[in-house]
Amino acid sequence: MVIRRSSQGENIRIYRNTSPGSTRVRKYSDGTTQSVEYPSSYTYFVSVEGEVLKKTNSLKVAEEFYTDECKKKYDNVHGRIQVGKHKMIGKVCTAKEDYPTSSNTKSEIKSFLDIRSIKYESDSTKSELLDIVTKLNPYSELDW
């Protein structure tokens, strides 16, 4: 059972070992599959890109390892998803502070859209990309 998964689209997960010694195969809509081998012992384990990298009986140890792995991939580690604070866009949890603004570069805005599988024209201007982001942003009309 997945307890925690990366909120930024990376395949980093904490599992509770509910099926010791078994292999679980997940099939995705694009036809790809991924298997996870549950350890024969230990209560929790952390997988990165489908490979079990940490086995432990402590949730605290698993969460610390998980956070360290997330920090290797991106700077803004959210931790847990919070209802009302995060919005799922293309299976990526997105907080208010994650949305790009005019101070971001064009490549940073494209990266934001790419990780969330949002389509845009390759020759789009920075302004056009920001318009797409604004339409996705539930906070854009609010004065915080």
19 backbone dihedrals φ, ψ, rounded to 5°: -135, 65
CA-CA distance, 47 to 39, in Å (whole number)?
Answer: 11
Mean pLDDT of the chain, nearest integer: 85
Side by side, which strands form the sheet with 44-48?
Answer: 2-5, 12-16, 44-48, 51-56
Percent of the chain with pLDDT over 90: 36
Residue 78 C-alpha from the chain's centroid = 9
Q: Is the pLDDT of residue 142 over 70?
A: no
Secondary element (H or E) of residue 65: helix 59-73
- Taking alpha carbons only, the member of 79, 102, 82, 98 closest to residue 137 is 98
* Of 97 and 14, the one with more pLDDT: 14
Residue 16: pLDDT band (50, 70, 90) is: very high
- Tokens for 49, please give them: 């890109």
Give the model confidence (pLDDT) of 43-90 as tens digits. Answer: 999 999 888 999 999 999 998 999 888 888 876 665 566 677 778 887
- Asked if residues 30 and 16 have their Cβ atoms less than 8 Å apart, the reply is no
CA-CA distance, 38 to 26, in Å (whole number)?
Answer: 13
pLDDT recorded at residue 77: 63
Q: Is the pLDDT of residue 143 over 60?
A: no
Q: Is the pLDDT of residue 144 over 70?
A: no
